Amino acid sequence: IAGITQAPTSQILAAGRRMTLRCTQDMRHNAMYWYRQDLGLGLRLIHYSNTAGTTGKGEVPDGYSVSRANTDDFPLTLASAVPSQTSVYFCASSERTGDYTFGSGTRLTVV
Partner 1 sequence: GQNIDQPTEMTATEGAIVQINCTYQTSGFNGLFWYQQHAGEAPTFLSYNVLDGLEEKGRFSSFLSRSKGYSYLLLKELQMKDSASYLCAVLDSNYQLIWGAGTKLIIKP
Per CB under 8 A, which of residues 27..56 are in contact with partner 1? 40-45, 48
Task: Select from 19, 105, 108, 110 the one that contacts partner 1 (CB under 8 A).
Answer: 105
Rg of the chain over all Cα atoms, to the nearest angstrom = 13
- Least CB distance to partner 1 at residue 102 (A): 4
CB of 21 to partner 1, least distance (A): 14
41 or 79: whose CB is closer to partner 1? Answer: 41
> Restricting to residues 84-103, which ones interact with partner 1 according to CB under 8 A?
90, 97-103
Give the distance from CA 34 to its chain's centroid.
Answer: 3
**Cross-strand partners of 44:** 36
In sign, the C-alpha dihedral spanning 100, 101, 104, 107 is negative
Residue 43 Cβ, how far from partner 1 at the closest point, in Å? 4
Q: Can you list the positions of beta strands (E) in the chain?
A: 4-7, 10-13, 19-25, 31-38, 42-49, 56-57, 64-66, 76-78, 87-94, 100-102, 106-110
Interface with partner 1 includes 73 (CB under 8 A)? no
Site residues (vs partner 1, CB under 8 A) = 40-45, 48, 58, 90, 97-105
